[in-house]
Structures are given as structure tokens and as C-alpha cells.
Structure 1
Amino acid sequence: MNTPSSSRWAEHVGSRVVIRFRDGEGVRDVLGELLAADEHTLRVQGRRGPVEVRLGSVVAGKPVPPKATRPAPPHLALSVADLELVMAKHWQAAEQDWLGGWLLRASGGYTGRANSVLPVGEPGMPLDVALTEVEDWYTERGLRPRASLPEPRPNDLDGEQLLAAAAVFEGAGWEEITPTSVLTAPVAELRGLQARLGGRPLPEDLEITLADEPDPVWIEQYRYRGQAVPEHGIRLLTSAPRQVFASVKTSAGELVGLGRGSLAEGWSGLTAMKVLPQWRRQGLSLALIGAVAEWSWQHGAMSMYLQVEAGNEPALASYAKAGFVFHHRYRYLAG
């Protein structure tokens, strides 16, 4: 198990973690939600109640995914609601509020994920009242109200709640925007992707580099629906507990491909994938996925997700070839 530094434990409060530590009885493990973390102590909700762990006694520890809700490989075992909450930790809005179990997010209008309500729990009030609260919250911030509505999978326990929430926004006449598919894959199978698929190595004058922060060239090349990254967008790109920025550059320093990996809740996320048109069909996308997967594996992630527009058939086919499979779909509705 990898062990986060003391400064990083606070980033995982609210997450499910496993911690191995020493006490008077020897070496013990505790698994559960991290309730609190400071420079001296970690507090974990164990099976029999809260457990306090001295930071100096920690042998190893890491965030782990939420508990599986169905018998399936790890990348398919989470419910739709649980995976949606995991993904929200990878792309955290500048402003976030909870309306019961609904997550309100705002980031100056940049990206749908960071400027929409995620209604995957009970709001703690009648649904029509919750709808009005959502509309008022976004109106106060000068934003058009928007909801990200996941579609349940058959036999998921959260299906009834997801459908009821969606019906409220549909009944209010909100406009549908951009259906999106969520794909997942085992990280172990994505490592060394080019070699596994029989692809040739990158051309000799190309190199993949990984960095903790996006450099100005990376920021300049990345576009969200054709939109340049605003200043507050850089905060979004670096909002996960940990992320990596992959670049494919020529020997002359020209950036020809890029991608972002992120880590949260024991999962890896893949976003911001781009290869310049003149460099496509040379294995750069596979190389980028493989590089992010290797980084994810080294940091303990077993599963990876990505999001792609449901109608983007070339991208869906490419990701399917790499080993990704369909998990669920969500759609945006705007008021």
C-alpha cells in the first residue's frame, strides 16, 4: 500500500480508506470512511465505531473505492450513483454545496460537470421544493440551472431514486443537452497498451512526458468544446487529490498530443485527451492511455473511467478497442 504524506490525508476526508498501523497489540488494519485528519491523528469510521490512529504509527494506507454493490469485476461493481460521486472528486467545482444528497456545483460556467447539480441521493425535502432550491442557487450565481442526470442500470438499488429525480427536471420542461457515456476499464489491462494491441512504438522523434502541473503549452493546446481554458479552469484541471498531465512532444518541443489523469477514491480518471489531426493513426492515443494507466497503477488505482459524448462513434470505437466497456450514461438538462 502506498501512504499519502501527512499533508495529503486531509484531501481524503470523506473518502473510504484502508490504513495499516501499529499499536500496543501489534500491526492492525482499519477500513472505513476517513472522518478527520490533522498533523497528528487520523480518525476512521471502522466496522465497530470510530478508530483514532496516530499519524506516526501509520505503516501504510490509501484511499479505496466505495463498497461494491454487485458481483462483478471492480471496474463494473459500483452502482451508478457511487461512480458518479467518485467522478465528482476528480473534477471538483470551485463552489460546492449539498442539498441533502444532491451536490450543487458552480465554476463560473466552465464545463458542464462543474456547473450542474448531481441529484444522486435524497434531497431531504419534497422533490418539487428541491427543484426550486436548485433553480434559485444557480440564478443567484448568474448561471443557467443545469442538472447532470445519470441513467440507472438494471437491478441497481439506486435506480428508483435516479428516475424520480430525473422526472422532476423533465416535468419542469428542462431542455436536454449532450448525452454522455461513462466507460470503465481495469487499469492492469491498460498498461503497455500499444504492445498488447500489436501497435508499433512511437516514432523516434516523439516522447511522452508526465508532469504534476500543466505547463503553458499544455494549457494553450487543451480545448473544452473549442473553448480556451480560462484562469479558473486551471483550478478545475488541478482539483483532484492528485493528477498528472501527459504530453507527447517532438524533439523540437512541439506538443502533438495530451491527456490528463487523476486519482480519487481509489479510481483513476482519464480526461482532456487530444491528438493533433496530422498526428492521428500513429498510436499516440494508445500511448497516452498506457502512460496514464502506468502512473495510475503505480499510485494504487485498479479501475479507470472516462466520459465521452454518446454520439462520438469514432472515440467510442477507439476506447472499446483499448479495453473500455460501457458502465452507464448521463445527460444534462438545462432550465
Structure 2
Amino acid sequence: MKGSLRLSLSQKLQQRLSPLQMRFVRLLEMNGLEIEDEVRRELDDNPALEVADTPAIEGDDDFNESAEDLQLADYRDEDEIPSYRFEANNRSADDDFYEPVAVADEGSLGESLTRQLSETDIDARDLQIARYIIGNLDDNGYLTRTLTQILDDLAINAGIDVPMEHLREIVGRVRALDPPGVCAYDLRDCLVLQLRRMPRSDIRDLALEIVEHYFDIFSLRHFDRLASMLDVDRDRLREADELIRSLNPKPGGQIGDSAGDEKSRHIIPDFNVEVDGNVVTLSLVNNVPELTIESSFVSDGNSFISVAGSSGEHKAARTFINRKREDATEFIELLRIRQETLYKV
């Protein structure tokens, strides 16, 4: 057998982000509140970082109360102030005015399922077991523990001994609640639960057979193979696919996302834009203070190192001081670049 050596030359172009670039991207993705929390966390973790002393602006202590503030000061406390003092209606008589309407909250997924169970003929002991099962559902409605683990938890934590068959019955009662698909073991089981709750039809039965017995092939989108194995044409297979795709893979996510939650969400802007004629003023809306290096870390850090001690201790101390100073300098620079980038955007 003859051996041969081959020499090949290939050229690849790869782009990799350095750790500093990754950290900058993470800071750039944060909103105003998140960047404030990040600054506070960095101030707590890094002793080389401190808030810069900003000089007081001349005239800050001057009297600047408005006439409205003076009128409100005539009352002893806020409870005595009439409600109309806090209202301002700058609309014209032709404008539509809508009063805010309180919206009843649906509650969490666990509260919704427990309320549905309470309306059935379930006894107190089974209701306690069902609540324990519901407590092991995640936000999407999936069961996070196996039945064996739940059985052990009930015996150890709650002191309830229940046969496995009876536990399966109670799990089945939870799985029969709304929304369809809750208390599923996995995605395939979630889709099966939803399909079984639908009215029977040829397409529904085909979709159920696909999910129950050919889910792996369906997940890979091998429709030709599916059509051959099921002996169906592509049109019926396409209708079954559309039905499966219309199901909700996260049934628990739709509970607790009511109109009241939508109304209570406040959008906090990152920018404040003021237009005065042809002049546009742009400012960042956050409370990030100006940061600087702590005075003890500005030099080489000898103020932290005592005269006594071994040279190894001195070296370790200098390494610690230099590392913290470099981290603080890097963080200050990243904040500056982030602000410049936002302004450019």
C-alpha cells in the first residue's frame, strides 16, 4: 500500500467578539432602569469605582416654588387638599374624554386552575393533592416533575400517601381544565391534549395520529415520508399541518396576561426629545451618575499595602488593586461609549 502526503491550503474568514465587546453589547441592550441597576451593582462590587462629586450649581438653594405650590402649602396635609387641585383638563369641549376603567384581573395560572377545581365535586384531600400538582407547573403550563417525584414529595413534605393510580386520576382532572394543554409532560403531550378537546373530524383525527405516533418525523418536516407512511395525499397532510400549527405550545402563557396587565404596563423612554422651533434637544432619560476612580486607586495602590508583610503579599495586593482599577476604568469607558452610541442612533 502506497502512502501519500497532501498539502492543502484553505482560507476562512471568522469574526469573533472580544470579552470587552460582548460586555459593551450587553450594556447597549439594557434600558434606562437596567443600566441604573448595573451601575449600582458595579459600585457595590468594585471598591475602585465611586460617584464623582458634582459641584453644586449656583442658585440651587434659591426659592423656586410656584404659585400652585404655595396654594397647596396652605393645607395641613394631603388628605385635606381637594381632588380638583390635582386635576388639570386642558382639552376643549369637542374633545373625547375617556375615564379609566378598572379591569378585573384573571390572576395567575395556579389561581385559575384552583378556582376551576373548587367548582367541581372534588373532595378536600384530592383538592390538596391537585393544588400540589398545580404548584409544580411552570409559567407555560408544563409539569416540571415526574409523577414519581410528586408522589415522594407528597409523602415527605405533606405527609400524604396516595397510590400511583389515584395520583394519575387527579393529574387527569387537572389536565381536563382550561386552557386546553395545561399539565402536559412535554410539547407532544400538550398538542395531544389540545387535539383531543377538539370536535372529531377527518383532519383532526389525522393531526392527532401524526402527533401521537409520527411527531419526530413531523418535527423534521419530512412530509413526503409522512404522506407515504400514512397513505394520504399532500392536500390532507397540509390541512393537518395547518391545524397542528394553530395550536398553542404555551397554553399557560395566556393566563395572567389580561387587559388590566396591559393597562398597568408603563413605557419608560430612553430618550427625551424637545423641539423648540428649529432647535431639537436630545437627552438621555436615566439617573446614571458620573463615575470616577476612587482616589486611593488612582496611584499604584501603595496606600493599601502596609510596610510589614512578605513580598508575596505585596504582590497579591498590587495585583488586586491594579485589576480593580482596570475594571473600573473599563466600565467608565463602556458607559461613555454606550452614551455616544445612543446619541448617534
Output the TM-score relative to the length of structure 1. Answer: 0.21
TM-score, scaled to structure 2: 0.21
Structure richer in helix, relative to its length: 2
Richer in strand (by share): 1
Greater RCO, 1 or 2 (C-alpha within 8 Å, sep 6+): 2
Larger radius of gyration: 2
